[in-house]
Structure 1
């Protein structure tokens, strides 16, 4: 019997960053895991495994470590979720001289902030019409004073895109259906939770043995600002914005952190596109349970029985 293997969007983006052949190699591994989910080695915690990919097997692919979860207590018995992909050797063209990155253009930041504003208004317009319970869970926007206070608390300047979002909505209430972003319930974090999450991640750096062995994937950089979590109260999984690159990253309950290739404005625009054009949606699909948005199909059996896919 085969099992379902989930290759999340942020992992696909990570594979694309690592090299042209990485996504193909990881997809090949995913097909193998569907037949044999215990193919990898246990990673010291129930339900967590690591598998290796030899660079000689695939073109344009460095040697890789792939970390995944299988079955209870983290997932259903017949599911695998790939959670991290790490290169353990040189990347293709790693020895070639790279041109320095251009300085950020203030005009481009203004454009990105405008894109965030437009995409968020599309999202909230859809919620107000189709998922009023989720719309009601959104908090009002923060003031510039509140965002400034958060910047001082973190010691990091909030980029224009995230500032634009928080000026419109400063998080969600702790209520069913508060998750807006595609996934199993990504909820916007209130600013107080943002600060608490940031401090927790930074404090973890001072503790030995955190994560998967102290490699770079467990490091939390000062430039990473969390903004979404599994729920308002459960911050063991979440999304952060890398201030230096403008890209969205992901962390999980194993302390593994990865940065993808997607900006906040693109994330919001794709969310709005999935809601407005559900027939074209792939991956997590928009659905409804009692007036609240639930991306699915849900994993929990009770939610799955009530979930209705939104088709427009």
Structure 2
């Protein structure tokens, strides 16, 4: 059972004063407190708690202490009220000539979401006709609450194209045939695996004590959100979407990351085109093994002998 969380207007104003990312961070914490009111630590007085927010968790947000009251004796009902937000670290340096954040174009977002939805439905239709095992290996869509929870875990807004895809399919089951995307039978990652992989990619170099550089191709940028991997459980290789540009990128087990020219909608449309019209297609081509979609013959000789190229 969730608890109502009150974020008073003067606290909202205080958050805005502290920086662009603070209000989003505090709202995220409020959603977490609604599920777990005692997430923070007792702050001396009965019914008063304090929770911390690390500056590394959210972009453009300093480290914070958020003090809140929960239930009696401070409140007459079982609810939460945010009482104070205090910055405990340096405020982000906005710079004298910082450009204003670009406001998303709602019309463009609708178009992108429709493109993703149409392409994915074409893929699903093909799987239902020709690769029932792969179709059965795909999970149903996520709820908006589950996607919001993932955003909380990442501290990054999910771009419209990924949101559209995850509302249709929230990853694959850990079974043979879950690979859908070319070129290497990429499997759609479950949302929990997305969060785990993202945190590992962001933290790994720091744990190894390696330096950081904006030009370093091994750095994982905060806006890169993984969505496909070598398999449902093997995330040593995979694909991500840059939330800032919409472009799809690739990582491998040598920690090299590259960003291509395709968007997610373009990748899905190309996949649907190759499945529906394989004859003129180039690159890795679709085939079947016992109801499973497999892009190109497998390396294992016994599986390669069973592979049949799909020609339409």
Shorter-chain TM-score tier: 0.5 to 0.7
CA–CA distance in structure 2, aligned partners of residues 199 and 159 of structure 1: 18
Aligned length: 212
Equivalent position of 2:307 in the other structure: 307
Equivalent position of 1:138 in the other structure: 138
Secondary structure of 2:227 counterpart = strand
Equivalent position of 1:123 in the other structure: 123
| Range 296-305 or range 281-290, more displaced | 296-305
Equivalent position of 2:265 in the other structure: 265
Once the two structures are superposed, what CA deviation does each residue of 1:154-212 show, in whole Å capped at 9, x if it has no partner?
Answer: 0000111100000000000011111000122200000000000001101113034769x
Equivalent position of 2:170 in the other structure: 170
CA shift at 1:113, angstroms? 0.6
Higher RCO (Cα < 8 Å, 6 or more apart): 1
Q: How do 1:82-97 residues align onto structure 2 when only pairs under 5 Å count?
A: none
CA contact (8 A) 1:285 1:295 kept: yes
CA contact (8 A) 1:229 1:236 kept: yes
CA–CA distance in structure 1, aligned partners of residues 227 and 287 of structure 2: 23
- Could you say if the C-alpha distance between residues 234 and 123 of structure 1 is closer, same or farther in structure 2, counting changes exceeding 3 Å? same
CA shift at 1:105, angstroms? 2.5
CA contact (8 A) 1:142 1:170 kept: yes
- Unaligned residue ranges in structure 2 (runs of 5+): 1-99
CA–CA distance in structure 2, aligned partners of residues 192 and 137 of structure 1: 17
| Range 213-222 or range 116-125, more displaced | 213-222
CA shift at 1:287, angstroms? 0.1
Once the two structures are superposed, what CA deviation does each residue of 1:110-150 show, in whole Å capped at 9, x if it has no partner?
Answer: 10110000000000000011000000000000000000000
TM-score, structure 2 normalization:
0.65
> Is 2:155 the partner of 1:155?
yes
Q: How do 1:174-193 residues align onto structure 2 when only pairs under 5 Å count?
A: 174-193=174-193
TM-score, structure 1 normalization:
0.65
CA shift at 1:101, angstroms? 11
Equivalent position of 2:242 in the other structure: 242
Secondary structure of 2:164 counterpart = helix
CA–CA distance in structure 1, aligned partners of residues 103 and 192 of structure 2: 31
Larger radius of gyration: 2
Q: What RMSD in Å do the two structures reach over aligned CA positions? A: 2.1
Equivalent position of 1:295 in the other structure: 295
Runs of 4+ off more than 4 Å: 100-104
CA–CA distance in structure 2, aligned partners of residues 265 and 247 of structure 1: 9
Secondary structure of 1:235 counterpart = coil
Once the two structures are superposed, what CA deviation does each residue of 1:17-61 show, in whole Å capped at 9, x if it has no partner?
Answer: xxxxxxxxxxxxxxxxxxxxxxxxxxxxxxxxxxxxxxxxxxxxx
CA contact (8 A) 1:171 1:187 kept: yes
Secondary structure of 2:274 counterpart = helix
Q: How do 1:1-312 residues align onto structure 2 when only pairs under 5 Å count?
A: 104-208=104-208, 216-312=216-312
CA contact (8 A) 1:147 1:163 kept: yes
